[in-house]
Chain A
Amino acid sequence: MKRREFLVSAAGAALLSTVPVGAIRAFAQSAAGVITFGQSTAVLTLDPAHGAFTGYPGGYEAALLLFDRLLDFDGDMKIVPQLAQSFAMSEDLKSCELKVRAGVTFHDGTPCDAAAIKFNIERMMNKEINTTNRPLWDPIAGADIVDETTLVIRALAPFAQLPNTLAHGSGAIVSPAAIEKSGEDGFAQNPVGAGPYMVEAFNAGQELTLKTYDGYWGEKPGAAGVVFRFIAEPATRINALTTGAVDVIDSVPVQLVGQLASNADVEVLRKPGLRPIGLAINLTRPALADVKVRKAFNLAVPVATIAEKVFFGYAKAPDSPLAFDAIGHKTVGESVFDQEQAKALLAEAGYTAGSDGLLEKDGAKLTISLYTPEGLFPGDVAVTEIVAASLKQVGVDAQITKIEKGAYWDHLRQDKANLAWDLAMFGFNPSNASGTYHLASLFKSNAADSTKPDVWNIGRYRNAEVDELLKSADSAPAEADRLEALGKAQELVWADAPYLWLQINENVSAVRKPVSGVSLMPIVFTNLRAATKA
C-alpha cells in the first residue's frame, strides 16, 4: 500500500469511527427500572465520619439510599422510626431508649444489631474519626446495650435534639465489619450500609451505581437500581433530562425552569429551603448597635420584589429568623417595605441629611461596608446590589465589597479587631432541621466577643433572655415548653433585628416520566429513596 492510500484509508477509518452507528435516542436512555439521577454535585465520599458525605449535598443524597439510620425525617421534617422501631426520650432529656429492629443485616451479610449500632455511635462520638457535625455529636456521652434489641443512648446534659442527631445524615449506620475490612480511610470509597440499595460500582466524582439489596428488612424499593451521575453544568443537566438520558435532575436554575415547565413529560418539584439568606449586622459598630438603625435597614429593602424579580418567584420573604420548615418555626413578623418609615426611624436615631443627601450624625456619615461572596449564595451579588441601592434611597451610603467565595468564611469569622464588614451576607443551613440548633448557632452569645465566634454568631449578638430561652428550648422536659421557648426566642431575635433579613430560596428539581415518588426535602436533598420507575 502506498503511503497516500494508507493515509486516505486511515483518514476514512478515523472519520467513520466518529459516526454514531445506529446511534438513536434509545441508546442514550437509561435501562428499564434503573433510575438515573443527574446531580449537580459529585458523590466523592460515602462515610458519615471523616468529613461526612461529600460533596454536599450529592453525597448525602446517595447516603439516604445506601444507609439506614436509627430515625428518619419524613417529608415535613418530622422524626419517624427507621432502624429503630420506636424511641422514647427520658424525662430528664439525658437519654433516649431505642427498640432496634431484629434480623436486620448489612449489605455484607453481617448483622445490624445493637452492638453494631453502639459501635457506630461511639465512632461518631470520636473526635479523631469524626471531625464534622460536632455540635450534633458532642453532647452525646455514650451508648449502652440493654438487650439484643434495646439500646440506650446517653447525653452529657439534657439534649432534646438527640433524636435529630440520630435522624441526621451523619447518623447513618455503617457496617463495623466493613470498617474493619477497608480501614478507616478506605471505607469512604467502599461503603457498606443497611439501606434498601447497595453499591454495585463507585467511581468517585463521576458515577455511583446502586442496586437493590435483596436482604433489606423493609419494603422493596421501586426501582432495580439508581445511578447517581455527576453533571455539573445546569444546561447539560436540563438537556440530559429533556433527551431522557437521565430521569431526575436537581438544582435547576430558576431562570431555566421555564424550559422544563412546558414539557409535558417533566414534573418540576419545588420546596423552600431551610436556609434563610440575610445580611448579618456587625453589632460592634456603634451606629449599628442602635436597633432603630437596624430596623430602618430592614424597612428600606424590597425583599418581596427581590424574590419576584431576581428569583422569578422561586423565593419568599421570611416571617421569622427561621425558615418555614425548620422544626419549631413560628411566624413572628413580616417583611415590610416602607422607605418613608425607614427614613423616619433614622431621623429618630439622630441622623440628618447632609448637603449631598446622605445621612450623617455629629458630622460623621452613615457609611456602610457591605460584604458579599461571589457565587456562594443564590444571586448573591445581584441581591447585594439591590440592597445597596435601596439603602442609598434612604440616605445610607453603602459600599459593596465582593469576596472570592473560598475566602469568604475567613472574612465572616474574624476576631473583633479584624471585622472589616458592617453588613455581610450569610445563610445557615441547619442540617438536622432543628430550629433550636439553627437559632443557637447564629444568636447564642459568644463566650467572648473579642475572639473568633464560637459558631456562627458573627455579628456578636448578645441577649441574655434569648440565651435563657434557647437553653430551655433545648432542655425543658415537655415538648410544648421547648417549642414555646423557641417561639419566644424567635420573636425576640426578630424584634432585635441583628440581621437584614432577605429571602428564603426554593430548591428546584425536576423528574421525568415514568419516574415518580421523588421528594424534595427542605434541606436541599432530592430524595430518591421512595422513587419508582415502571
Chain B
Amino acid sequence: MIGFLAKRLATIPLVVLGVVTILFIIFKSVPGDEAAFVAGATATQAEIEAVRVQLGLDRPLIEQYVQHVSGLIVGDFGYSTTFRGNPLSHIVNRLPATLALAAAAIGLTILVGIPAGVVAATWRNRMPDYLISLTVVGLLAIPNFWLGMLLIAWLSVDLGLLPSFGASGPASLVIPTLALAARLIALVARMTRGVVIEELRKDYVRTARAKGLSKELVIRRHVLRNVMIPTITVIGLQAGYLLGGSVVIERLCAWPGIGDLLLTAVSVRDYTLVQAIVLIFVVSFLIINIAVEVIYRFINPRLRYA
C-alpha cells in the first residue's frame, strides 16, 4: 500500500507541471489585454503601457514562464491585482468553506442516495420504487442553480427557516448542500438500485437466503459491501462536478468558497488569481482521484494484489 501511495504521489509534481504549463499557455492566449483591463475603462493608452510594465507583461513570454514556475515552487502564485500581492493566503482562507460544502454534499449523498437505492431495489416495481425512481429522474433533470433558487425562495423567503445567503452558521450550509447534492444523490440512488438488483440475483445471496438469513440481513451484510465499490467510483468521478458545481452554487448562495472567488477573479480579470484557483482545483482533483484509489484498495482486497 505504501509503495503504491508513494508511486502515485510521485506522479503529482509532473502532472502539476504539465497543468501549470498548459494553464500558462491558455492564459497567455486568451483574448483581451490584461493591462488594459487592469488600467480600467477610462485609462489612456499611456496608462495602459505603464500598467503593462508594472505587471511585467512587457517581458518575453519565456521569461514570464520561468518566473511563474519558479515562483510556484516557493508558494508564490504571482502578483494578484485583486489582493495587491500573492493571493495564496486569500485562497487558503476560502478553502475550508468549499471543502465543507463538498464534504456535506458527499455525506448527504451517502446518507440518502444509498438507502434510497436499496429501498427502490428491495421493493422493485412497487410503489416505493416508482416514487424513488421518479424523484431520481426529477433531480437529475433539475439544474442545480435553479433548485438552489427554489430552495431559497421556499425555505428562506417564504418560511423564514434558513438564511438566504452567506455562511453565518451551520444552518447556512443546508441550502447549498441540498442544491449541490441533489444530482449526486440521484446518481447514486439510481446506480445503487441497479447494483442491488443485480447482486440479489447472485448465487451467494441465494445461498445466504437458503441458510435462513433474512433478506434484510443479507442486503445489509453482504450486498451493501459489493455496492460500495461502484458507489465510490461514481462519487470519485463526480468530484469534478462537485468542484464545478460549487462555483455556481457558491455564487448563488454567496457562499465564501474558492468557487465564488474564482468568478470574482474572472470578473475583474485577475489572471494570476484565476490561474492560481484553477491550479488548486486541478490539484484537488488529483488528490481526490488518488484517495478514491486508496479507498478502493481498502474495500476490495482483490485490487491490492493486482
**Provided the pairs A204-B83, A406-B30, A454-B45 are in contact, do residues A131 and B260 lie with their beta carbons within 8 angstroms?**
no
User: Which residues 216-270 of A have a CB within 8 angstroms of B?
Assistant: 229-233, 235-236, 239-240, 242-243, 245
Nearest B-chain residue to A127, judged by Cβ: B50
B residues in contact with A453, CB < 8 Å = 45
B residues in contact with A210, CB < 8 Å = none
User: Do A55 and B165 have beta carbons less than 8 Å apart?
Assistant: no
* A364 in the interface (beta carbon within 8 A): no
User: Do B54 and A131 have beta carbons less than 8 Å apart?
Assistant: yes
CB<8 Å pairs between A and B, sample of 24? A18-B170, A23-B161, A28-B168, A42-B264, A50-B84, A52-B40, A55-B264, A131-B50, A131-B51, A135-B44, A185-B84, A205-B82, A205-B260, A205-B264, A231-B254, A232-B260, A235-B149, A243-B156, A243-B160, A409-B33, A409-B36, A429-B41, A429-B42, A454-B44
B residues in contact with A27, CB < 8 Å = 163, 168-169, 171
* B81 in the interface (beta carbon within 8 A): yes
* A284 in the interface (beta carbon within 8 A): no
User: Do B174 and A232 have beta carbons less than 8 Å apart?
Assistant: no
Task: Give 1 or 0 for each of A403-432: 1 = CB within 8 Å of chain B CB.
Answer: 010111110010000000000000011010
* B229 in the interface (beta carbon within 8 A): no
Task: Give 1 or 0 for each of B141-177: 1 = CB within 8 Å of chain A CB.
Answer: 0000000010011001100111111101111011001
A residues in contact with B252, CB < 8 Å = 233, 235-236
Residues of B in contact (CB 8 Å), total 62
Distance (Å) between the CB of A58 and the closest chain B CB?
10
A463 to B220, CA, bound (A): 86
User: Which residues 183-214 of B have a CB within 8 angstroms of A?
Assistant: none
A residues in contact with B166, CB < 8 Å = 229, 231, 245
User: Do A404 and B260 have beta carbons less than 8 Å apart?
Assistant: no
B residues in contact with A231, CB < 8 Å = 165-166, 254
Residues of A in contact (CB 8 Å), total 67
User: Do B264 and A232 have beta carbons less than 8 Å apart?
Assistant: yes
User: Which residues 104-148 of A have a CB within 8 angstroms of B?
Assistant: 127-128, 131-135
User: Do B82 and A20 have beta carbons less than 8 Å apart?
Assistant: no
**Stretch in A9-17, A317-325, A473-481 with 4+ CB within 8 Å of B:** A9-17
A residues in contact with B42, CB < 8 Å = 132-133, 135, 428-429, 431, 441, 455-456
Nearest A-chain residue to B168, judged by Cβ: A28
A233 to B179, CA, bound (A): 15
A160 to B281, CA, bound (A): 52
A131 to B49, CA, bound (A): 10
User: Do A406 and B254 have beta carbons less than 8 Å apart?
Assistant: no
User: Do A239 and B156 have beta carbons less than 8 Å apart?
Assistant: yes
Query: Which of A27, A131, A428, A456: most chain B CB closer than 10 A?
Result: A131
B residues in contact with A54, CB < 8 Å = 81-82, 268
A51 to B268, CA, bound (A): 12
Residues of A within 8 A of B (CB): 4, 11, 14-15, 17-18, 20, 23-25, 27-28, 38, 42, 44-45, 47, 50-52, 54-56, 127-128, 131-135, 185-186, 188-189, 203-207, 229-233, 235-236, 239-240, 242-243, 245, 404, 406-410, 413, 428-429, 431, 441, 452-456
B residues in contact with A240, CB < 8 Å = 164-165, 254
User: Do B83 and A132 have beta carbons less than 8 Å apart?
Assistant: no
Distance (Å) between the CB of B131 and the closest chain A CB?
20
User: Do A55 and B268 have beta carbons less than 8 Å apart?
Assistant: yes
Q: A27-B168, A132-B40, A243-B160 are in contact. List 14 more A-B contacts (CB 8 A).
A: A20-B161, A23-B171, A24-B161, A38-B165, A54-B81, A134-B46, A188-B83, A235-B152, A242-B157, A243-B163, A408-B32, A410-B31, A441-B42, A454-B45
A203 to B41, CA, bound (A): 26
Nearest B-chain residue to A453, judged by Cβ: B45
User: Do B165 and A51 have beta carbons less than 8 Å apart?
Assistant: no
Q: Which of B41, B85, B152, B261 contacts A239 (CB 8 A)?
A: B152
A469 to B286, CA, bound (A): 64
User: Which residues 80-135 of B have a CB within 8 angstroms of A?
Assistant: 81-85, 90, 93, 104, 107-108, 111
User: Do B157 and A14 have beta carbons less than 8 Å apart?
Assistant: no
User: Do A51 and B164 have beta carbons less than 8 Å apart?
Assistant: no
User: Do A18 and B173 have beta carbons less than 8 Å apart?
Assistant: yes
Query: Which of B37, B161, B165: most chain A CB closer than 10 A?
Result: B165
Distance (Å) between the CB of B58 and the closest chain A CB?
14
User: Do A17 and B263 have beta carbons less than 8 Å apart?
Assistant: no
Q: Which of A47, A205, A232, A456 contacts B251 (CB 8 A)?
A: A232
User: Do A51 and B40 have beta carbons less than 8 Å apart?
Assistant: yes
Distance (Å) between the CB of A493 and the closest chain B CB?
19
Task: Give 1 or 0 for each of B37-80: 1 = CB within 8 Å of chain A CB.
Answer: 11111111111001100100000000000000000000000000
User: Do B31 and A55 have beta carbons less than 8 Å apart?
Assistant: no
Q: Which of A17, A23, A186, A232 contacts B162 (CB 8 A)?
A: A23
B residues in contact with A456, CB < 8 Å = 42
Q: Which of A44, A135, A407 contacts B31 (CB 8 A)?
A: A407
A236 to B153, CA, bound (A): 9
A207 to B94, CA, bound (A): 12
Distance (Å) between the CB of B162 and the closest chain A CB?
6
Distance (Å) between the CB of B79 and the closest chain A CB?
9
Q: Which of A11, A186, A242, A410 contacts B33 (CB 8 A)?
A: A410
